[in-house]
Amino acid sequence: MHSFLSRANTLFAFTITVLAVLTTGVFVSTFFEEYRGTVSIGAVRPIVKHMTDFSANRKKNDLGVLQLTLDMDLNPLFDWNVKQLFLYLVAEYVTPANTLNQVVLWDKIVRRGEEARLSFHEIATKYYFWDDGEHLRSNNVTLSLNWNIISNAGRLMHVRANGSTSFVFPDQYITSRTASPKPSGQQ
């Protein structure tokens, strides 16, 4: 502490220590938070196509096509330790080939400060709904929205929202080309 630089050095090191302690305090203050919420999901006009999957094994697989209607209010989830949310919509179903299939159909990143009341009406899925085989016809599929909490200081938690819906695919393929629009891909 006998010169400028040594005083500045001591001050800086002490500041960093204080910031580390405060960050630990933030972590502890939100440790037991569960981040639950309710959303409303709707599956609109589901159909099944039978097409060659060029990104996989070149065989003909089932492709499910549907539109999504989503409504959610995420404002209660943003406490002072949440930096952003990663939302993803998962379709889960059972086939004779696999006990559990999970396909992500749509995702979104919601940052702190952005609009957190989201409402989508009959949007196309963001990703293709390929089945590993040909078992989508008449299959009962459950759609559920999950979010991944990205904290300032803390664990990365995956939480499933309340309010999942189920629907059943029709039992016939669509063969004509006048069917529903293709998925939108990356936005």
Interface positions with other proteins (CB under 8 A)? 1-11, 14-15, 18-19, 21-22, 25-26, 29, 78-81, 152
| Nearest CB to other proteins, comparing residues 46 and 154 | 154
**Contact predicate 146/36, CB 8 Å:** no
Closest separation between CB of residue 84 and other proteins, Å?
13
Name which of 5 and 156 has its Cβ closer to other proteins. Answer: 5
CA distance 175 to 50: 8
- Find out whether 94 and 133 touch, Cβ atoms under 8 Å: no
Nearer to other proteins, 10 or 52 (CB): 10
Name the minimum Å distance from CB 81 to other proteins: 7
Helix (H, G, I), strand (E, B) or coil at 175: coil
Closest CA to 152 of 18, 32, 34, 28: 28
Minimum CB–partner distance for residue 24 and other proteins (Å): 11
User: Based on C-alpha coordinates, what's the Rg of the chain?
Assistant: 23
Residue 152 beta carbon to other proteins: minimum distance, rounded to whole angstroms:
6
User: What gap in Å lies between CA 4 and CA 2, rounded to an integer?
Assistant: 7
Looking at the Cβ atoms of 26 and 118, the one nearer to other proteins is 26
Q: Are the beta carbons of 137 and 167 closer than 8 angstroms?
A: no
